[in-house]
Chains A and B, each alone.
Chain A
Amino acid sequence: MELVLEHVCKSFGGLKAVTDVSFKVPHKAIYGLIGPNGAGKTTVFNLITGVYKHDTGRIVFNGHDLRPLRPAQIARAGVARTFQNIRLFSQLTVLENLLVACELQKKASLFSSILRLGAHHEDERSMKKRAEELLEVFSLRDVADEPSTSLPYGNQRRLEICRAMMLEPKLLLLDEPAAGMNYGEAEGLKDQIRWLRDTFALTVVLVEHNMQVVMGVCEEIHVLDHGETIAEGSPEKVQADPKVIAAYLGEEPEEEAAG
């Protein structure tokens, strides 16, 4: 269940967004991907999930090359993600948002859900049960029937994680999950990420600016700048790397952590 990137390159027109990036995320790891704005972190996520296709190099998950797959197929192969700029299904309720994500695990066909056969009801019931369990963990159970966009920002982020988890993924890509969260919420998020990994035997890759979260939860960190790798290793090692400090953390990494 490991994710491997080998010499991945992607350019948009003349702009090189990602240049020769390679890394390997072992099974059940929590892996951090950091770098200043515009470093290409989200692009890497988009390449893994097939929203964009890389020009050269290879992205391999669980032994499968992801390049020929469409985004939906990659999702079905067990790669789930959240988005930096939250993308919920706004006209759907919180619960419906989750139910969409398990559409492809259903046993009932379209035909049987029109005829309302037993399989349809069984599906709906088991899906609902699973969704409600997840909402419980992320303390969203009470708002299950609210329109998803009526939630406060932090809850929308948590809802996106729930939705991704409904896929029963093997790899979870989180794009700035702590954005807009305060200290306490971010601490809670750290616990939730660990809980998810332990409970569902997940591999997690995290793009995050909040150093409190990144340094606290990641076992290994990969630093990008201008689309290129500048450092790689344990949080301690990366924090001490002069190149990283110069490019990203600046003179006082503590200040960064507070923001």
Chain B
Amino acid sequence: MRVLDALITGLAQGAMIALIALGYTMVYGVLKLINFAHSEIFMMSAFIGLFLITMLGGTEHPLLAGVGGTLMAMVAAALIGMLVERIAYRPLRNRGKSSLVRVTPLVTALGMSVLLQNLAQLMFTARNRSYPQLLTGSLSLGPLSVGTSRVVILLTAVVVMVVLELIVKRTWFGKAMRALSANEEAARLMGINTSRVISATFALGSSLAALGSVLFCLDQSPVHPSLGLVVGTRAFVAAVLGGIGSITGAMLGGLLIGVLGELLKLTSFSGGTDIPAFLVLIVVLLVRPAGLLGSARAEKV
């Protein structure tokens, strides 16, 4: 019983982690860059979501506040994501491959992450803030009783993933994204406005992170500036575990990390979920560096 319960919680957790992991993976797909700032966008949108939901009435109008707040937080996160890309990554593009500038995108990514986290610390202070309880009650599925929030989260995540899969596979934007991922120069020569596609990728990834963060906080967690570090790291591990650059991989990785974390809580192991997550990460990189579903590429000589 406890195992089944943990499985469901783990799946819900994992679904949210997957939503954030998608952002890492999509940006890596088009830019071959680990967007370290992504986890901070997640944290920022948790704060924005909290303020918006409170502003829209909180528990008095749960539906309006929940849905409206979430959507607006997604828009805000998309804007932040595009801003981050514009400031920290775009100026560095097309600089060639000289060894002196090769690590610069990594440095700006790290810098952006540190900047956003401390900005949040300054603006919102380090104290915990709780979300209003919008999703209360529980549904009973046979012998199980599952919290409404869990059900909402799982359903949302599944819908989002299906929609995302359709976007990537069926729409022009998805095609452009994949073309960019395969060969940026060729994509540009084919008339794709690469800057716009990259911007849109950041926007999409960030808004998914916002969705994940609002759901995450509604479910269980208070908001604080180091939330990005805590949850973002897990999402990052999930993305690498599934194979960074692979969208299905990110979903799989997220679910695995979520379930693993919950199952670990059943044991007497008390090192938290982060130590095992990092160990898994390192082992995966060593055994199968492309991740579970990723594919390796060879350099052309």
Mutual binders A and B: yes
**Which A residues contact B (CB, under 8 angstroms)?**
12, 42, 46, 51-52, 83, 90-91
Closest-CB distance, A75 to chain B (whole angstroms): 14
Bound complex: CA A51 to CA B99 (Å): 21
Instruction: Report A-chain residues with C-beta under 8 Å of the C-beta of B267.
Output: none
Whether B99 contacts A91 by the Cβ 8 Å rule is yes
Q: Does B275 contact A (CB under 8 A)?
A: no
A90: chain B residues at CB < 8 Å are 98-99
Q: Contact at B301–A42, with CB atoms within 8 Å?
A: yes
Smallest distance from the beta carbon of B135 to chain A beta carbons, Å?
48
Q: Is B123 an interface residue (CB 8 A)?
A: no
Which residues in B have their C-beta under 8 angstroms from that of A12?
Answer: 298
Chain B interface size range: under 10
Q: What chain A residues lie within 8 Å of B98 (beta carbons)?
A: 90-91
A51 touches B100 (CB 8 A): no
Contact B301 A83 (CB under 8 A): yes
- Of residues B99, B100, B301, which shows the largest number of chain A Cβ atoms within 10 Å of its Cβ? B301
Residues 69-105 (chain B) with a chain A CB within 8 angstroms:
98-100
- What is the distance, in angstroms, from B298's C-beta to the closest C-beta of chain A? 7
Taking the nearest CB of chain B, how far is it from the CB of A161, in angstroms? 18
Contact between chains at A46 and B301 (CB < 8 Å): yes
A91 pairs with B301, CB closer than 8 A? no
Beyond the given A52-B298, A90-B98, A91-B98, please list 8 additional residue pairs across the A-B interface where CB-CB is below 8 A.
A12-B298, A42-B301, A46-B301, A51-B301, A83-B301, A90-B99, A91-B99, A91-B100
B6 CB to nearest A CB, Å? 42
Question: How many Å lie between the Cα of A83 and that of B301 in the bound state?
Answer: 8
Which residues of A lie under 8 Å from residue B298 when comparing CB positions? 12, 52
- Cβ contacts under 8 Å, A42 to chain B: 301
Interchain CA distance A101-B122 in the complex, whole Å: 53
B260-301 interface with A by 8 A CB criterion = 298, 301
Q: Name the residue of chain B whose CB is nearest to the CB of A89.
A: B99
Q: Which residue of B lies closest to A45 (CB)?
A: B301
Inter-chain CA distance A42–B100, complex, in Å, is: 29
By a CB distance below 8 angstroms, the chain B residues around A46 are: 301
* Distance of A90 Cα from B100 Cα, bound (Å): 10
In the assembly, what is the distance between CA of A52 and CA of B298, in Å? 9
In the bound complex, residues from chain B placing their C-beta under 8 Å from that of A91 are 98-100
A-B contact pairs, 11 of them (CB 8 A): A12-B298, A42-B301, A46-B301, A51-B301, A52-B298, A83-B301, A90-B98, A90-B99, A91-B98, A91-B99, A91-B100
